[in-house]
Amino acid sequence: MPTPQENARLEQIKRSWEQKRQITDRLSKIGTKIGVYSGKGGVGKTTVAVNLAVTLAKEGNRVGLLDVDIDCPNAGKVLGVTEKPEYVDGQIFPAEKWGVKVVSMGFFQENEEEAIIWRGPMIHNAINQFLQTTDWGDLDYLLVDLPPGTSDSPLTVMQTLPMDGFVVVSTPQYLASLDARRCINMIRKLNMNVLGIVENYTGEVFGQGGGEALAKDVDAPYLGNLALRSSYQDQSKPTSLADSAVAKEYSHVVKKVKDSLKKFGRDAA
């Protein structure tokens, strides 16, 4: 007879298998899954994720954006979404704006100014809940705005969601490059693909070249730089839809991402 401990372990294995099966089913209609990741907060990771998503949508792709930065879920705000996703019969149906379907923890907060003070297991459960219950429909691309850093939250996403590769966001400063290098090392330790590095906030204030130098050091593609511009102050829409110069930068990054996907044997739309 199995012991109570053995029975409990068997039940846990069954639950874990069922979770993975449900997640696989949910993601079966999604073509390419790209994580947008950074070694630290404040480098513009969410802004990059949103503008990449709307650029892909503008090119005619079916695009989703999953914001799993549980502590600071801002993707919906940057995208300008005002209506929450629908929750029907245990399923989440994403909100949509500018041709991008979006799900974010921010939609499920009663008070957006209140801190989400959760330990690792609660964050793990929330991320799994999003992955198990969201009905994305048919997508060409799903972009995933990951939590920054190399701790439990991004690890949960990487081990649960089969990603085709990661776009790493950094800024020109040395410390930002150091933190980006750490998250690149984490991606590679988990045998996943670094699609390339984007340098954000390029210009006279923060300088230029840190992202490109990092790409050479770690032998990763350099996807391009995104200049620090006053047009980002306009919060009425994603900046790539409001400023032609920004749109050109993001179109260049998207092209480089697609080139990188092909090199890794991932066909992209």
Question: For the domain that residue 223 is a member of, what is the CATH number?
Answer: 3.40.50.300
pLDDT for res 7: 72
Residue-number span of the structural domain to which 128 is assigned:
30-263
pLDDT for res 261: 96
Q: Average pLDDT in the 127-132 region?
A: 82
Token code pair at residue 11: 């039940």
Q: Do the domain assignments include residue 8?
A: no
Is residue 111's pLDDT more than 70? no
pLDDT for res 149: 82
Instruction: Give helix 244-263 / helix 45-58 axis angle, nearest 10°.
Output: 90
Is residue 112's pLDDT more than 70? no
Q: Do the domain assignments include residue 9?
A: no
Q: Do the domain assignments include residue 13?
A: no
Q: Do the domain assignments include residue 269?
A: no
pLDDT for res 206: 92
Closest to 148 (Cα-Cα) out of 67, 69, 49, 65: 69
Buried b (16+ CB within 10 A) or exposed e, 174-197: eebbebbbebbebbeeeebbbbbb
Which amino acid is present at 145?
D
Q: Do the domain assignments include residue 12?
A: no
Is residue 46's pLDDT more than 70? yes
pLDDT for res 90: 84
Q: Do the domain assignments include residue 22?
A: no
Per-residue pLDDT band at 115 (split at 50, 70, 90): low
When mean pLDDT is compared across 62-71, 119-128, 129-138, 169-178, the lowest value belongs to 119-128
Q: Do the domain assignments include residue 1?
A: no
pTM for the full predicted model: 0.89
User: How many domains is the chain partitioned into structurally?
Assistant: 1
**DSSP E strand boundaries for 9-48:** 30-37
pLDDT for res 196: 97
Q: Do the domain assignments include residue 195?
A: yes
* 231 backbone dihedrals φ, ψ, rounded to 5°: -65, -20
Is residue 200's pLDDT more than 80? yes
What percentage of the chain has pLDDT greater than the value 70?
91
Closest to 85 (Cα-Cα) out of 129, 30, 35: 129
Q: Are 181 and 218 in contact (CB under 8 A)?
A: yes
